Every structure is written in structure tokens, then in C-alpha cells.
Amino acid sequence: MEKELTFRAVVIGAVLAVIVTMYSAFAGLKIGGVYWPITTASIMALGILTILGSTNKNEINVTQTIASAGGLLAAGIIFTVPALFLIGFQISITEITLISLVGGITGVIFSVPLRRQMIEKEKLEYADGKAAAAIILAGYEKGTKIKTLSAMFGIGIIFSFLRDGIKFIPSFWNIDLLKVQLSKLFSFGSSISLIPFSGGYLIGPKFTGVWFLGAVISYFILIPFAVMNGMFEDKFSAGIELTKPLGIGVVIGAAIMYFLLKGLPAMKNIFSDWKESFKENKRMIGVILIVLVAVLTIITEMNLVLSIIAIAGAFVMAYIGGRVTGEMNVDPMELFAMIVLIGAKIFFGFNAILLVIIAAVVCISAGVAGDTLQDLKTGFLLGTKPKNQFVAQLIGVLVGALVIGVILVALQQAYGFGNTELPAPQAVALSEIIKADSLSGNLLLGIVIGAVLALVLSFFASAIIIVALGIGMYVPIELSFPLFVGGLIRFYADRKKWTEKGRLIAAGLIAGEGFTGVLLSLLGLGKLL
């Protein structure tokens, strides 16, 4: 019988989970998205265990299951918690860790019971889960994939160290960004980065193209129009006062419409899908949920009712996130968090900290649920025992939760959030929702535009792409342009059938630069302490 959940699988998976959590946090704050880490984790696990010898496909799968969990847990935190820093609140590393554990564990326990329905019966696609299974099964290609990934990881480390560690790579060029909008297109922020180019490649030409279209609309149409008509004194204030609330409104409107189009229909089977599996594990799941509600109540000083609402929201959004992931290979976890936050603010009027905590729990739960079902799809194809993957996923969540608080605080002190270096677009949108006592005219107009565009586009493609338009309207164009270039490179690679090799290169560069960026931030935090 093949060994699966071995001691070395746990140790190697835990080490890889730290790396995945680190680079996912940095890259996600940089480009506003975290690509599924399962294929990258599979290649790393495959390479290491093959070198050690006497391994098998299921041990490799268990290792990558542990490793990949950290990426989506990190995404749930970086999409939400930075909003607190942006509005002037502080949150401790311990609190971030406990919130991560609550959201991550709920994501796992709410999604594992869905395996039978969504993977075995409905046979939903879970494209990255299938890709990971193919990588592991074809893992005897003499290590070509791990060599490529490792080389790019090394290049990313060297590049980031030269730029940020010893300041060998200076600012790209010094120009007056406020006078000439075109110059912003090529400035790349304070220093050039490989992450936006690589992220644009992984995201693809469609999403990055729409993102860049939003930037073009803001920087070359709306802002010049506002300035020419005397609406603002300069381009900078125009960008802040006009395009930011308008773009955020587009994101909110698209999120609401997407939830109505995809989320609500998915909920109709939620209890029937979950009922059978719940019967088999109801005692264990019941105890875990009681503990999680208690932990959430204590750490946030919320009352019991609010904690139950947060867990209930996590349950619903974990289900929707898992199903949408299976159908589209996209987990719009931050949109689900936004919907819950808006609803909580309208109906209950919680304070800022409680709103962000609820949003974080929901976001993490939805993200981890999507990742868990991707992993379970891989396991279904390879024959890995679901119980072992369940344990492995919980280990990955634990490891990710233990490091993400330190990572976030280090990045906040080293770079700050909501700027050119780390735009954190989702957290910026959440912070604007929280701060708003009432809807401004521009924000309301953006919501209407986003909802209408998403509705119209749903007849031809996925409505979620309108979110990219809104993000492009309010993040710095210095980020949007390299993302767009990366998308164009992906378009060319697809035509030349170089897609997979390009993915390895892009993933390696992101991992190397993101890992080093966090590491240097942690060293800086150590000095501060």
C-alpha cells in the first residue's frame, strides 16, 4: 500500500506552505489577485520528493495539498485586513492569526463534504486540479519542469535582492508624473518589478485587457475631461476625486450583479448537497463550529449573534466559492466578502473593525473552499484518500495562519498599502465602503454602470470581467500597463503553443520576487522590534 500522509510530506508541505503564503501575499497586494498555487506547489513537491526518492503520486499530492492552502488563505487576508490600516485602525498579529484560522477551518469543513456531489456526481471541471493531477502523473519527465521553475525562482530572488536589498536597480526614470499622463504609462512606479508582467501572463489577455481599458478610460478620457472643464485644479486631485469612487462603484455594482447571477442560483442546492455528508460527520463538524464561534466571539469581542452571522456567511460563501470554482476555475472570493460587508453595514451598522473581520472570515472561507475542492479533484483523479487530504488541508491552513499575520504587518511597515508599490485594490474598495456614511454621486453612478455592464455582458461572457474594468479605473496606471503587457505576451505564447512553459517562468518569477520582498520586509521588521 502506498504511503500518503508521511512525516516528510508534512514537513516539506509545511515549508512550501510558508513560501507559498509569502509570495502570494506580496504578489496579491501588488497585482490585486492570487493565481491558483496548486500547479506550482505540485511541481515543487514533485521535484523535492523525486530527488529524495521512494515516493509516489499520492505522497506528492498530499504534500502539494498542504503547500497550496497557504496561498488562498493569504489572499483572503490581503484582500480584506489592509482596509483597517487604510482607515487608521490597527490589528495585532495574534488577531490576524486567529481570524485566519477561523476562516480557513470553516472553508475546509464546509467544502470537504461537497466532494461527493460536486466531484464524483456532477464531475465539475476544477481545471487547475486536473492540471495538477496531470503534472504529478507526468512527473517522470526527468525534472524539466522543476528545473525551469527553480531557475526562475532564483532569478526572481536575485532581481528583488538587487533592487530592494542593495539598491542596485534604481528607479526606472525620474519624470513629472502629474504633468504628462503618458509618462505614467512607462514609469512602472518607483521601481520596475517582474510581478506585474508575470501576473499579467498568468491572468491572461482578456482580463488584463479589460483592466487596462479601465485605466485608459480614467487617465486619458475622464481625468483630461475633468481638468479641461475646470472640475479640479490638477490631474492628481481629479484622479483621486473622480476616478477612484467611480471605479470602486463599478466593482461594487459588478459584484452585486455577479452574486445575483451566479451566487443566488448556486444556493438553491446548498442544503441538499451538504445534507448527506453532514449526517456522516455531524458530531465532529458541530463541535468544530461551536469552537470556532467561541474563538471568534472572544478575539473580536463580538456578541454571540454576530459571530454566528459571520460563520453562517462563511458557510454560504464557501459553498458558492467552491461551486463557481468548479464551473469557471475562478473564485471571486473578494466579491463575496464585499457583498457580505455591504449587507452587514446596511442591516446591522457594525463598526469598521467588526465589518472587516466578518469580511475576512467570509473571504478566507470562500478561497480555501475553492482550493480544497481543487485539491480534492486532484486526489480523485490520482486515487488519494480524502481523509488524508482533509488532514493535509488543515495543516496547510494552520501553517499559513501562523505566518500571514507577521507577513502582513511587515509589508505594512515596509511599504504601506494603497500606494504604487502595493496598491491592494480590493482592500482599498472595502475601506471606501466602510468609510462612506452615504453613497456619493460618483460612487452611486459607478455602481449603476458596473451592474448594467455586468448584466449585459453576462449574455455573452462572464460578468466577473467588469470587476477588472473597475479596478483598472482606480489603481495606478503604472501597474495596469505592465499587467497588460504580460497579457499580450500570454496571447502570443498561446498562439505559439508556449503557454505551459510560460506559466512556469511567470510562476517562478512571482514566487522568487514575492518571497524575497517579504523576507526583506521581515528583516526590516526585526530591526524595528
Concatenating the DSSP letter of every residue in 383-399 gives T--HHHHHHHHHHHHHH
Query: Are 433 and 342 in contact, with CB atoms under 8 Å apart?
Result: yes
CA-to-CA dists, residue 12 to 15, 48, 63, 90, angstroms: 5, 8, 7, 34
The answer to which of 160-169, 265-274, 508-517 has the lowest mean pLDDT is 265-274
Report d(CA 303, CA 301) in Å as an integer: 7
Q: Calculate mean pLDDT across residues 152-172.
A: 74
Who's near 114: CB < 8 A, 6+ residues apart? Answer: 273, 274, 277, 319, 322, 373
Closest CA to 198 of 141, 155, 166, 167: 155
pLDDT tens digits, residue range 374-431?
999 999 999 999 899 999 999 999 999 999 999 999 999 988 998 888 888 889 888 8
Q: What is the pLDDT of residues 441-498, one digit of tens each?
A: 788 899 899 999 999 988 776 777 888 898 888 888 888 888 899 999 999 999 988 8
Is residue 189 pLDDT above 50, yes or no?
Answer: no
Which one-letter DSSP state was computed for residue 114?
G
Share of the chain above pLDDT 90, in %: 25
- Domain-located, residue 2: no
Predicted pLDDT of residue 172: 43
Half-sphere exposure of 300 (CA within 13 A, CB side): 31
How many folded domains does the chain comprise? 1
- What is the pLDDT confidence band of residue 170, given thresholds at 50, 70 and 90? low
Which of the given ranges, 77-91, 309-323, 333-347, has the highest pLDDT on average? Answer: 77-91
Place of cell 503564503: 21
Q: How far is CA 350 from CA 347, 355, 356, 435, 464, in A?
A: 9, 6, 10, 12, 28
- Range of 28's domain? 7-170+183-528
- In a domain, residue 302? The reply is yes
Tell me whether residue 157 is in a domain.
yes
Q: Is pLDDT at 174 greater than 50 in this prediction?
A: no
**Which has the closest alpha carbon to 308: 281, 367, 348, 259?**
348
| Least confident span in 189-203, 314-328, 403-417 | 189-203
**66 in a structural domain:** yes
Q: Averaging pLDDT over each range in 259-268, 325-334, 367-376, which range is the top one? A: 367-376
Q: Render pLDDT for 38-53 as a digit per residue (tens, 0 to 9).
A: 888 988 898 889 888 8
In sequence order, what DSSP letters do the residues of 328-387 get, joined into one string? HS---HHHHHHHHHHHHHHHH---HHHHHHHHHHHHHHHHHHHHHHHHHHHHHHHT--HH
Q: What is the pLDDT of residue 527?
A: 46
How confident is residue 169, by pLDDT bands cut at 50, 70 and 90? low
Contact (CB, 8 A) for 472 and 222 = no
Residue 231 pLDDT level (bands cut at 50, 70, 90)? low
b/e code 316-352 from CB counts within 10 Å (16+ = b)? bbbbbbbbbbbbebbbbbbbbbbbbbbebbeeeebeb
Average pLDDT estimate for 11-40 = 90
The whole-angstrom separation of Cα 346 and Cα 238 is 29
Is residue 481 a contact partner of residue 185, using CB atoms and an 8 Å limit? yes
The rounded distance, in Å, linking the Cα atoms of 91 and 106 is 21
Lowest mean pLDDT among 99-103, 180-184, 274-278: 180-184
CA distance 409 to 90: 10
pLDDT at 64: 95
Mean pLDDT of all residues in the chain? 82
Contacts of 504 (CB under 8 A, 6+ apart): 43, 145, 148, 149, 152
CA–CA separation, 265 vs 283, rounded Å? 29
Q: For 167, which DSSP code? A: -
The single-letter DSSP state of residue 437 is S
- Whether residue 175 is contained in a domain is answered as no
> What are 527's three cell numbers?
530591526
Per-residue pLDDT at 398: 95
Give the helix ranges, DSSP H, for 415-476: 425-435, 441-457, 465-474
